[in-house]
Amino acid sequence: MALPNLSDADRQAALKKAAEARQKRAELRAKIKDGKMSFADVMAKTDDPIVARMKVSTLLESLPGYGKAKAAKIMDELQISESRRVQGLGARQREALMEKLA
């Protein structure tokens, strides 16, 4: 698929939008890490584009006490692809994560 030719103004707007999304995801990860937001709270906000587009592995690694190894182990046990995003979780995968972590 060919990329569209963007004007400089369109390119700058897209870069600004991407930077804002990264900042919001970083703020969300910080809230989760600090315990201000629980896993269940995050999963209840799956209609939010910031949450929906976050990788499940990143979400799990943001939980207090979880790192790459624990996150990978949970995702392997529940048969969730490492590239899966929150919006792409199936109903059973979502239920299994909630049982395990909520």
Separation of alpha carbons 3 and 7, rounded Å: 12
Indicate the CATH number for domain 16-101.
Answer: 1.10.8.50
DSSP label at residue 85: B
* Residue 102 identity (one-letter amino acid): A
pLDDT profile of the chain (102 residues), mean per 10: 81 94 95 92 92 94 93 94 94 93 80
pLDDT of residue 1: 66
Q: Residue 86 is encoded by which pair of tokens?
A: 């929150």
